[in-house]
Structures are given as C-alpha cells and as structure tokens.
Structure 1
Amino acid sequence: MTADDWNALHPIGTPVLAWPGTRDDEPLTTRTRTPAWTLGHGAPVVSVEGVAGGIFLTHIEAVAP
C-alpha cells in the first residue's frame, strides 16, 4: 500500500496495531498521529502515538475503534 492509498482510507487518529520492531513482537495498540509519507528510498511509513519516527505500513494494521 502506498502512503497516498493509506491516507485516502485512514485519517490521522485512526486506531491501529503497530509493530515498531518485527511482527514477531507483541503489537502496540495506538493511534496514528501523522499522515503517511514515503521515505527517500520508497518505503511508506506513518507515525503513531508513543513511538518516535515512522513505522513501515507493512507493520501497521488499522483496527475498528
């Protein structure tokens, strides 16, 4: 999913499960705090509450509020 695709479906504040490290870790239940954007090397990321920086969209799942 691209950053634009994510942003079209998920506004800032969307509840998500986030895996800041690997998907083998326990997910963090949080909310997005920025729109998604694309890093210079092409990977789409989004910032979430409680984590500094961006998390790859492959490590984010939107959940029902």
Structure 2
Amino acid sequence: MDARHYASAGVPTILYGTGPKDPLDANVHRANERIKVADLRLATEVVARFAYDWLAGERP
C-alpha cells in the first residue's frame, strides 16, 4: 500500500483493488492472502475499461 506515501506527500492518488471491504477478511499482505475469482474478474474488467477509455482520449 505505497499509495499512502504519495498521498501524505500531497500527490493526488487513486487506490483501487479487489476483495472484501475489510482487508482482514482477505488476509491482506499475509500468508494465504485470498480473494474470490469473481471479485478478481470484476476488478480486472473495471481496470481494463478505464485503460481503454483513457487511451482512447475519453477523459472527464
């Protein structure tokens, strides 16, 4: 979670990930970290759509 360092330095930061809202439920950054495959697929789709739109010049 390096984004916190950028944010604390005043760098605009967006953090996006997959899995449950509570990181402890996914055992985040520990042995046996886990997520549901459906959550991974959805997060991958969101990132791919964002990248496609961004590269196509569709920016807000």
TM-score, with length taken from structure 2: 0.21
In terms of fraction of residues, the more helix-rich structure is 2
Q: Which has the larger radius of gyration?
A: 2
Q: Report the TM-score when normalising by structure 1.
A: 0.21
Q: Which has the higher contact order (CA 8 A, sep 6+)?
A: 1
Higher strand share: 1
